């Protein structure tokens, strides 16, 4: 088994390599708030464990094994978040920090039970996909709300770059997963949007907000 520390490196590598497929020592260092020499050291250790490909001065790449183990930790994280929201009554803005700890619990049975009680959920409370027991996961082809046009009718499918503050902001605006939104207009100078939903007939959302909302058109 891996230490809690290694597990957090794995998750960070996985998250950061989303697009390019590789990560720089610098990025990883910043993401984890750990100085670069410490990261270099840990990468050598994890390379020895076949979790990551490491060569001096080259980008870091997760091995197949590393990717799978990362995905399984993310599975535990997202199952936990879903469990806390669905079965214990937490708000979606409260669960990340608890899941950050519980994801390291060693008990396949606990997470199997969560999955069972939740009826094998496919998404976490923020709309992110929950990897299956083999670490397989795929993001659906969502668009960002910021890329939509006036008169588009969309449904909120996921929230990205979620901080507690951002989620509390959405709570105050009564914006949640599954919400149907109509785009009334887009301000050309700051790309903010005026949208309509439920009993909010004219709500303005900044581009910062719109870039963090993934939507499905319908």
Partner DNA sequence: CTAATTTGTTAGTTAAGACTAACTTAATAC
Partner DNA sequence: GTATTAAGTTAGTCTTAACTAACAAATTAG
Which residues are near DNA by CB under 7 A?
A: 3-6, 24-27, 29, 33-38, 40-43, 45, 54, 56-57, 59
Q: Are the C-beta atoms of residues 217 and 148 closer than 8 Å to each other?
A: yes
Nearer to its own copies, 117 or 137 (CB): 117
Q: What distances in angstroms separate CA 102 from CA 50, 67, 80, 127, one per listed residue? A: 25, 20, 7, 19
Nearer to its own copies, 94 or 216 (CB): 94
- Please state the closest distance from residue 40 (CB atom) to DNA, in A: 4
- Please state the closest distance from residue 18 (CB atom) to its own copies, in A: 28
Q: Can you spell out the DSSP letters for 12-40?
A: HHHHHTTTTS-B-HHHHHHHHT--HHHHH
From the list Mn ion, DNA, its own copies, none, pick the one residue 89 interacts with, judged by a Cβ distance below 5 to 8 Å according to partner type: its own copies
Question: Please, how many CA atoms are within 13 Å of residue 16, restricted to the half-sphere of its CB?
Answer: 21
d(CA 155, CA 205): 15
Binding-site ranges for its own copies (CB under 8 A): 84, 87-90, 94, 97-98, 101-102, 105-107, 109-110, 113-114, 117
- Of residues 83 through 102, those in contact with Mn ion by CB under 5 A are 96, 100
Q: Which residues bind Mn ion (CB under 5 A)?
A: 8, 96, 100
């Amino acid at each position: 088994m891996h230490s809690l520390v290694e597990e957090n490196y794995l998750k960070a590598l996985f998250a950061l390599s989303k697009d390019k497929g590789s990560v720089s020592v610098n990025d990883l260092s910043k993401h984890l708030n750990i100085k670069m020499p410490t990261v270099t050291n840990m990468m050598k250790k994890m390379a020895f464990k076949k979790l990551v490909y490491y060569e001096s001065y080259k980008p870091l790449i997760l091995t197949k094994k590393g990717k799978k183990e990362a995905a399984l930790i993310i599975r535990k994280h997202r199952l936990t978040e879903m469990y806390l929201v669905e079965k214990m009554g937490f708000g979606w803005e409260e669960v990340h920090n608890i899941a950050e700890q519980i994801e390291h619990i060693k008990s396949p049975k606990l997470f199997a039970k969560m999955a069972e009680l939740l009826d094998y959920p496919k998404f976490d409370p923020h709309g992110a996909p929950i990897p299956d027991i083999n670490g397989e996961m795929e993001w659906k082809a969502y668009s960002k709300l910021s890329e939509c046009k006036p008169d588009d009718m969309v449904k909120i499918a996921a929230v990205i770059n979620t901080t507690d503050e951002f989620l509390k902001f959405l709570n105050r605006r009564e914006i949640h997963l599954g919400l149907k939104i109509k785009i009334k207009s887009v301000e050309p100078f700051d790309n903010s949007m005026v949208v309509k939903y439920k009993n909010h007939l004219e709500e303005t959302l900044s581009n910062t907000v719109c870039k963090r909302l993934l939507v499905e058109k319908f």
